[in-house]
């Protein structure tokens, strides 16, 4: 039987400007190329899981506009079930304004639009899909009450929860209790534990996050790899050596791959290594959804296949 993943999350159109560097406060900076890419953490992670071989359903909202129609078409073409994606009147589809600089690093500012209309009622209407899924993926680009309702449904159904707590600045650590797998980058981890100095090590951040209740914690570190902590064992994963073109979709590639492989029963450490490979491959290409790798590409970079063998 195929692995099933349900994503409750954001859907955006990304407006991307390329520049040599980031603009300083108050500065007008002339950039280079401009692109529009389908994106949003929810949409990206849904496609990432689909390309890794999962059957994926997406719960979310788009506006009644051309971008919403385009996002529906893109997701359908990627094999994502969008029956539970609602079109909201008098709302625009979410927009991500992205700056990508010469070394591939990026900043993103989001105008949420219709994503803020995704409600607990939308989640209730998707309870069957959440309950039937092996893993539920959540992020923090939807209203908190929507995520909390999705978590409640998943727990009652025995569906594992992967929470990508991004953005993290307005989240309470209390939300993390009962999460099966927490995935954050270093900045998000620091925000959640209140580390304003940046002096806490990645391993220290993982330990502190684990104290809030998630069963497992992954802190992603970009070009430095990732750390994984299961409450007892701490493991560091080195990054894959690739040329970074655009890091926009890397974190979402990581999450989609990790959710799929854990749903299949691939051991955590092997799944995290494969997720690092997926994130690395996404960084070698421009865009968000356009950059997400297939399972074959991930396994080629790993030099081996990803198969279930235990916990």
Helices and strands of the chain, counted as H and E runs: 10, 13
Q: Which two tokens stand for residue 268?
A: 């955590």
**252 labelled catalytic:** yes
Query: CA 161 → CA 37, 65, 99, 134, 305, distances in Å?
Result: 28, 32, 31, 9, 25
Instruction: Single out the catalytic residue among 14, 81, 134, 252.
Output: 252
CB under 8 A, 24+ apart: contacts of 276-279:
276/225, 276/226, 276/237, 276/238, 276/239, 276/240, 277/240, 277/301, 277/302, 278/48, 278/52, 278/253, 278/254, 279/220, 279/250, 279/251, 279/253, 279/254
Task: Name 137's Cβ contacts closer than 8 Å, sequence gap at least 6.
Answer: 5, 6, 7, 8, 9, 42, 45, 46, 49, 162, 164, 255, 256, 259
Catalytic residues: 252
């Amino acid at each position: 039987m195929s692995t099933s993943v349900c994503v409750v999350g954001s859907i955006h159109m990304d407006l991307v400007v390329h520049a040599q560097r980031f603009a300083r406060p108050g500065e007008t900076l002339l950039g280079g190329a401009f692109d529009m890419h389908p994106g949003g953490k929810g949409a990206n992670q849904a496609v990432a899981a689909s390309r890794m071989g999962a059957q994926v359903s997406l719960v979310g909202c788009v506006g009644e506009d051309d971008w919403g129609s385009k996002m529906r078409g893109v997701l359908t073409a990627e094999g994502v079930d969008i029956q539970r994606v609602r079109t909201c009147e008098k709302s625009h589809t979410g927009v991500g304004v992205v700056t990508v600089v010469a070394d591939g690093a990026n900043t993103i500012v989001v105008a949420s639009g219709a994503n803020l209309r995704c409600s607990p009622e939308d989640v209730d209407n998707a309870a069957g899909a959440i309950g039937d899924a092996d893993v539920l993926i959540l992020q923090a680009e939807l209203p908190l009450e929507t995520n909390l309702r999705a978590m409640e449904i998943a727990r009652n159904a025995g569906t594992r929860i992967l929470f990508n707590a991004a953005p993290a600045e307005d989240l309470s650590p209390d939300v993390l209790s009962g999460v099966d797998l927490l995935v954050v980058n270093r900045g998000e981890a620091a925000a959640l534990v209140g580390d304003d100095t940046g002096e806490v090590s990645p391993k220290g951040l993982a330990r502190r996050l684990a104290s809030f209740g998630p069963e497992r914690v992954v802190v992603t570190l970009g070009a430095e790899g990732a750390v994984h902590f299961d409450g007892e064992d701490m493991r560091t994963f080195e990054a894959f050596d690739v040329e970074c073109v655009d890091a926009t979709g890397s974190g979402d590639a990581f999450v989609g791959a990790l959710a799929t492989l854990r749903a299949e029963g691939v051991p955590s450490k092997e799944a995290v290594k494969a997720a690092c490979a997926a994130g690395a491959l996404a960084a070698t290409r421009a865009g968000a959804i356009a950059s997400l790798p297939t399972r074959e590409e991930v396994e080629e970079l790993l030099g081996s296949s990803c198969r279930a063998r235990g916990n």
